[in-house]
Structure 1
Amino acid sequence: MFYWFLKFVAIGPVVRLVFRPRATGLENVPARGAAVLASNHLAASDWIFMPLVLKRRVTFLAKAEYFTAPGVKGFLQRIFFGGSGQVPIDRASADAAENALTTGIRILREGKLLGIYPEGTRSPDGRLFRGKTGVARMTLETGCPVVPVAMVPGRTFRVLGKKLTRVDVVIGEPLDFSRYAGLSGDRFVERSITDEIMYEIMLLSGQEYVDLYGAKVKKSMDSTGASAVEVVGKLQPPPHEAADRLPSSLAG
């Protein structure tokens, strides 16, 4: 109930009034049954816009720190994030990736919509970075479709002196990977599926694609003090002709 209270009473009306988000392709989200909603990740507020434009509830995997903070603030965070459709994942543990996969698969087998960000982190500089293969494992294990989603920034404006950006939610056609049934665990198949998903997100968002993990770029930025552009220039090999905007497995 708290999820719908946030959507229709507490947060939703304010976000709609201020940001006026627009959505295209809503008919591509299944009316019932499980599906993965795989989106690019530009800002911490992305998780608000996708559920806001959909009729069905969306469940996200969130870092466990949101659910374990002490005191009154921690209590309020647990209420908020738990009620808003987020499930805690301990990303610091050695089994973090496996725990996230297990939880995501469980949610999908319950027939729900699972919202995930294949990049695994917010974009360091607004470009689209390499996707992690967990999304492929989930669709192979459950047989559910993957719906590519793009958060597309629009015009900027100011409210009470703060600079805000309008966001459009663009939803692509569902991707069916049933042709790979029974190949879960094959890293080449999972990489190919993930790259196909990222390619569709790239087409929807219009972002430039970087064939590096965003987390790796951020780590290098923190250790060297360099910008994302500088780090990418050092880590990414020179692009091949006409293939500089394609995931590696699709570049030929």
Structure 2
Amino acid sequence: MNERLADSHRVFDRVSQEYDAARPHYPEALYLALETLSGIRLAGATVIDVGAGTGISTRGLLDRGARVVAVDRGELMLARLRVRTDCPALLADGNDLPLRAGAADLVTYAQSWHWLDPALSVAEAVRVVGDGGAVAGWWNTVDPGKADWLAANQVRLAESCPGYIGPVLPGWSMPPMAAAMSDAGLSVAETWVDWTRSVPLEDFLTDLRSHSYIASMEGGVATELLARERAELGRVFPDGRLTVPMRVYLVVGRRGRRGAM
């Protein structure tokens, strides 16, 4: 694994408070689509939530009746998860899950799979889900094609942040999890879920600070960048509340029952 991936949990531990405070949730339609594409009803299912962070997806799964085990490499991220939930939380690597074969109905990666080794992580997930189980990954992203102010915001970030990854970059696409699932012999399905987030300006800026391309910057540089964004966005939203068009990309790989593949 390259150095960037190996150290990602340290970057996010530095901004665990901001991540917990301001990262967006996932809409109800995402969880409904997850059930449809996986063929697994969340209520009563055993789910391993890999790269759970502070538990945004973990809480969403728990709220829908799943039995969840959260897994993350970030100690401070997991510490915040443990404050909010009482589900099992393991400090562990998603490339080497400390779980027995067939332990789960579903393995999920919310906003996290791209920080893991593509082949190793999916192979581990396939090992951990039983026959008829599934592996799923999803990512929230802003949708700048639906708002000029948001497109301008993303262009400014791309110009200011050397590590920026996002929808205004030429050739940008979602992480290639579908291909990794297919290579692992899973039956793959994908969908997009559109939704709208209403959020105070300060929370939007706090959310930005939690992204790796800003979290990895020098503190003073990041503070200056966010001050510029506060001024720019404040002119567009003088009441201090943003309406942000969002999209969630969901990919699910199903493991056939014994003898069915």
What is the TM-score normalised by the length of structure 2?
Answer: 0.36
Query: Greater strand percent: which structure?
Result: 2
